[in-house]
Chain A
């Protein structure tokens, strides 16, 4: 049982480039989330989804896009990367919308 799997674990991106962070879960959870964590800060919600085909903005959505074509996958797209997007990104899923299971994170550096 893999839980929530994120790829890649680490990545260095140049300013202006784009990339997609992958997230997949095998628990058949309807709710999925993307958070970012900056040093010394709590997790901030970027986007979330309550089911396939449904996504909504969280607290810090600017510069990101998501899609949810299947229950399992919830990729996060960064367009025109900026240094301010240097962070650790966590994907999570939840059965109830309360308790969430997190992936191991993607450490992204934009230079």
Chain B
């Protein structure tokens, strides 16, 4: 029973274009959401987060959008760069300091 779903295992985008990574969740108790980036043979690195009281959070080239009614969030990367090529994990928490992770989406940015 996956509470956090990333339905696209992979995504290819041209350098300079927008990358959109999607995440759906089923647990309406989740009150904060995070995106992590992971390179091979390294641990995940925190990228950006959003609280359930917001619908958008921006940090440089990265923007996360939250649609609570649809239980959907997305990460936009603009413009995409080759160094953004990595696996991106969506994670959600419900106030208990435990995160539930999706399976990840592998982003490839083509020069």
Chain A contact residues, CB within 8 Å of chain B = 4, 31, 35, 40-45, 48, 50, 58-59, 90, 92, 94, 97-105
Contact = CB atoms under 8 A, between A and B. Distances in A.
A43 B89 contact: yes
Contacts, number: 54
Interface of B: 4, 9, 32, 34, 36, 41-46, 49, 89, 91, 93, 97-104
Max chain B CB contacts within 10 Å: which of A4, A48, A102, A104? Answer: A102
Given A41-B103, A90-B44, A104-B43, A48 B98 contact: yes
B42 A42 contact: no
Contacts of B44: 43, 90, 102
B46 A42 contact: no
A99 B98 contact: no
A90 B102 CA distance: 16
Contacts of A4: 43
B103 A98 contact: no
Cβ-closest 8 pairs across A and B: A102-B43, A42-B101, A97-B97, A43-B101, A42-B103, A99-B46, A102-B44, A104-B43
30 contacts: A4-B43, A31-B97, A35-B101, A41-B103, A42-B4, A42-B89, A42-B103, A43-B44, A43-B89, A44-B101, A45-B98, A48-B97, A48-B98, A50-B97, A92-B43, A94-B97, A97-B97, A98-B32, A98-B34, A98-B49, A98-B93, A98-B97, A100-B46, A100-B99, A102-B43, A102-B44, A103-B43, A104-B41, A104-B43, A105-B41
